[in-house]
């Protein structure tokens, strides 16, 4: 067995499909963990922690070591949740009969790559590592009540998301809260309190986490719309199952729109500079997602989308989230750097100039693409 760095990278970027047990057995431990925990999706946790880190840096509360420990802990906790999710659904008889979850990536239990006992061992090891990170955060902040409360809420979602939250139709709401205002706010509070700072700014920090939380929740809502027919048969009462496909689709459209709206509000009120408006360059992907969400899910994979099927709504929302999250982080980084440097130009003017250059570049690229696509005379 050798360390497969290429698989680490691949599994962190895309959901892996694999049918050969010998190929699975030949993988190293880290590769198996990344694939089994669907780390291509759990990277959203790292995004949330990066956002919190930049906001803490902006307020002079950032410290590398606690940020790395907490980020790794939360990343592992997210993976632990996915292991528990698969174990619970498999044990309840949900993940079988070609169920949605078994179609888009490796499911070690369904494919008999390992046993339920193996899954429990992986869950325990991951859970212990995540817990150690939580203990560090508690000690680092002198067992602050805010941290205890936030971590308790996170643990509640970790343990009960699969059942009963998802079955009650509130799983999507918990996803928004955890990966948006709760996680971003919690990491910020850990860094602030640990460095002797105050947390009077935490409400605005939590509000700043709303756009990213909504973009993550849109993936989850999209996934649950994609598999709602199977969920109905299995008795899984997700939000789309309870409200219907049409209402769920337009709720998802609203979540994408509100994410941009909150950013505009934070820019207008001065919490962010105009540099944050760089996120509008993800608007094209947002429009793709919205266009797809305005129509019912097709019964079969449209031509050209066979590789990504059965993900449909979730696929387009994930496609948007990757760019939106990246630009959101870039905007916060540039906003923070500009505030910390003494510049001969107003920060909002700088943002307007950057936005203008970006728009010109986008228009030029569109014109070049049109010219290239135009048939020769």
| 292 domain-assigned | yes
pLDDT in tens, 21-32: 888 888 888 988
pLDDT surpassing 60 at residue 365: no
Say how many domains are in the chain. Answer: 1
| 112 domain-assigned | no
| 243 domain-assigned | yes
Cα separation of 127 and 115, whole Å?
18
Residue range of the domain that includes 291: 209-377
Q: Which of 45, 274, 357, 60 is nearest to 182 (CA)?
A: 45
> What letter would DSSP give residue 274?
G
| 90 domain-assigned | no
| 303 domain-assigned | yes
| 344 domain-assigned | yes
| 325 domain-assigned | yes
| 36 domain-assigned | no
Q: What is the pTM of this model?
A: 0.85
| Average pLDDT along the chain | 85
Cα separation of 85 and 117, whole Å?
15
- The secondary structure of 333-362 as a DSSP string is HHHHHHHHS--SS-HHHHHHHHHHHHHHHH
Least confident of 109-113, 276-280, 363-367: 363-367
Cβ-Cβ contacts under 8 Å for 158 (sequence gap 6 or more)? 77, 80, 81, 84
pLDDT in tens, 293-350: 999 988 888 887 777 777 788 888 988 988 898 899 999 998 898 888 766 566 777 6
């Amino acid at each position: 067995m050798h360390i497969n760095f290429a698989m680490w990278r691949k599994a962190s970027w895309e959901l892996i499909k694999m049918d050969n047990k010998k190929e699975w057995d030949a993988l190293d431990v880290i590769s198996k963990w990344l694939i089994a925990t669907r780390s291509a999706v759990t990277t959203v946790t790292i995004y949330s922690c990066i956002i919190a880190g930049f906001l803490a840096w902006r307020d002079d509360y950032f410290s590398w070591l606690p940020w790395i420990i907490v980020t790794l802990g939360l990343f592992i906790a997210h993976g632990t949740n996915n292991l528990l999710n698969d174990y619970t659904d498999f044990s309840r008889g949900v993940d079988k009969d070609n169920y949605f979850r078994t179609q888009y990536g490796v499911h070690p239990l369904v494919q008999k790559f390992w046993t339920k006992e193996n899954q429990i061992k992986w869950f325990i090891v991951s859970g212990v590592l995540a817990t150690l990170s939580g203990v560090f955060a508690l000690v680092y902040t002198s067992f602050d009540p805010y941290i205890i409360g936030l971590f308790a809420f996170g643990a509640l979602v970790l343990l009960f998301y699969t059942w009963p939250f998802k079955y009650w139709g509130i799983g999507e709401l918990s996803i928004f809260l955890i990966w948006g205002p709760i996680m971003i706010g919690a990491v910020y509070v850990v860094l602030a309190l640990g460095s002797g700072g105050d947390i009077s700014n935490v409400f605005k920090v939590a509000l700043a986490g709303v756009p990213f939380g909504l973009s993550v929740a849109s993936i989850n809502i999209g996934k649950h719309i994609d598999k709602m027919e199977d969920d109905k048969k299995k008795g899984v009462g997700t939000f789309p199952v309870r409200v219907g496909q049409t209402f769920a689709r337009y709720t998802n459209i609203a979540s994408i729109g509100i994410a941009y709206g909150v950013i505009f509000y934070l820019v207008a009120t001065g919490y962010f500079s105009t540099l944050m408006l760089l996120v509008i360059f993800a608007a094209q992907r947002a429009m793709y997602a919205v266009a797809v969400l305005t129509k019912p899910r097709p019964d079969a994979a449209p031509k050209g989308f066979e590789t990504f099927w059965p993900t449909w709504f979730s696929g387009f929302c994930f496609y948007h989230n990757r760019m939106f999250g990246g630009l959101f982080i870039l905007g916060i980084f540039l906003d923070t750097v500009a505030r910390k440097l003494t510049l001969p130009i107003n920060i909002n003017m700088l943002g307007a100039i950057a936005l203008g250059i970006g728009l010109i570049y986008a228009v030029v690229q569109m014109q070049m693409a049109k010219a290239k696509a135009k048939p020769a005379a």
